[in-house]
Structure 1
Amino acid sequence: MNISLRQLRVFLAVAEERNFSRAGDAIALTQPAVSRSILELETQLGLKLLDRTTREVVLTEAGQSLAARLGRVLDELDQTLLDVQGMAHARRGKVRVASSPTLSAQLMPACIAACARQEPEIQLVLLDRIQQDVLDSVRSGEVDFGVVIEPSAAEDLQTETILDDPFVLVVPRGHALAGHRSVRWSMLRGHALVLLDHASGSRRLIDEALLAHGVQAEVAQQLGHPTTVFRMVEAGIGISVMPALAVPPQGLGALVALPLTPRVQRQVMLVHRRNRAPSPLAQRVWRLVREIARQDTAATA
Structure 2
Amino acid sequence: MHFDLIDLKLFLNVTAAGNITAGAAHSHLSLASASARIRGLESSLGIALLERGRRGVTPTAAGKALTQHARLILQQVERLQADLTDYAQGFKGQIRLLCNTSALSEHLPERLADFLASHPNIDIHLEEHPSLRILHAVRHGTADIGIISDAVDASDLQTVPFCTDPLTLIMPSNHSLAGHDSLRFSQTLHHEFVGLGVNSAMAIYLEEQALHLGRRLKTRVRAESFDGVMRMVVRGAGLGVVPQAAVERFQQAGQLKSVPLSDRWADRTLLLCAPDFGRLPEYINALLRHLAPETAFMGTPMSSSDN
What's the TM-score once normalised by structure 2's chain length? 0.51
Distance in 1 of aligned mates of 2:136 and 2:263:
33
Q: Is the 8 A contact 2:189 2:218 kept in 1?
A: no
Matched with 2:218 is: 219
Distance in 1 of aligned mates of 2:263 and 2:102:
23
Taking structure 1 as reference, are residues 194 and 284 closer, same or farther at Cα in structure 2, changes over 3 Å only? same
Distance in 1 of aligned mates of 2:208 and 2:269:
15
Matched with 1:53 is: none
Matched with 2:238 is: 238
How many aligned residue pairs are there? Answer: 208
Taking structure 1 as reference, are residues 85 and 256 closer, same or farther at Cα in structure 2, changes over 3 Å only? same
Matched with 1:112 is: 112
Specify every segment of 5 or more residues in structure 1 that has no aligned partner in the other structure, as ranges. Answer: 1-80, 294-301
Q: How does 1:186-201 map to 2 (within 5 A)?
A: 188=188, 190-195=190-195, 200=201
1:195-253 Cα offsets, whole Å, 9 max, x none, are 556852686478659978xx978523485753453355345342123222343614445
Distance in 1 of aligned mates of 2:251 and 2:294:
21
Letter in 1 for 2:109: P
1:33-60 Cα offsets, whole Å, 9 max, x none, are xxxxxxxxxxxxxxxxxxxxxxxxxxxx
Q: Is the 8 A contact 1:99 1:126 kept in 2?
A: no
Taking structure 1 as reference, are residues 244 and 187 closer, same or farther at Cα in structure 2, changes over 3 Å only? same
Distance in 1 of aligned mates of 2:193 and 2:141:
37
Matched with 2:145 is: 145
1:70-103 Cα offsets, whole Å, 9 max, x none, are xxxxxxxxxxx9x979969x96113422222321
Distance in 1 of aligned mates of 2:115 and 2:217:
43
Distance in 1 of aligned mates of 2:239 and 2:189:
11
1:110-145 Cα offsets, whole Å, 9 max, x none, are 21233145x434524141322255445434534421
Q: Is the 8 A contact 2:165 2:269 kept in 1?
A: yes
Matched with 1:128 is: 127
Matched with 1:168 is: 168
- Please tell me the root mean square deviation across aligned C-alpha atoms, in Å: 4.3
Matched with 2:100 is: 100
Matched with 1:287 is: 289
Letter in 2 for 1:123: I
- Please state whether the residue corresponding to 1:285 is helix, strand or coil: helix
Q: Is the 8 A contact 2:161 2:272 kept in 1?
A: yes
Matched with 1:183 is: 182
Q: How does 1:13-162 map to 2 (within 5 A)?
A: 92-96=91-95, 97-116=97-116, 119-131=118-130, 134-150=134-150, 152-154=152-154, 156-162=156-162
Letter in 1 for 2:259: L
Distance in 1 of aligned mates of 2:207 and 2:219:
15
Letter in 1 for 2:119: P
Letter in 2 for 1:257: S
Distance in 1 of aligned mates of 2:263 and 2:143:
37
Taking structure 1 as reference, are residues 210 and 86 closer, same or farther at Cα in structure 2, changes over 3 Å only? closer
Distance in 2 of aligned mates of 1:189 and 1:116:
42
Structure label with greater radius of gyration:
1
Matched with 1:257 is: 258
Specify every segment of 5 or more residues in structure 2 that has no aligned partner in the other structure, as ranges. Answer: 1-79, 296-307
Taking structure 1 as reference, are residues 141 and 248 closer, same or farther at Cα in structure 2, changes over 3 Å only? farther
- Please state whether the residue corresponding to 1:176 is helix, strand or coil: coil
Identical positions, percent: 23
- Please state whether the residue corresponding to 2:166 is helix, strand or coil: strand
Taking structure 1 as reference, are residues 292 and 243 closer, same or farther at Cα in structure 2, changes over 3 Å only? farther
Taking structure 1 as reference, are residues 153 and 183 closer, same or farther at Cα in structure 2, changes over 3 Å only? closer
What's the TM-score once normalised by structure 1's chain length? 0.52
- Please state whether the residue corresponding to 2:268 is helix, strand or coil: strand
Matched with 2:271 is: 269
Distance in 1 of aligned mates of 2:270 and 2:219:
27
1:149-193 Cα offsets, whole Å, 9 max, x none, are 23635355322222222221111233234466x333375364333
Q: Is the 8 A contact 1:202 1:266 kept in 2?
A: no
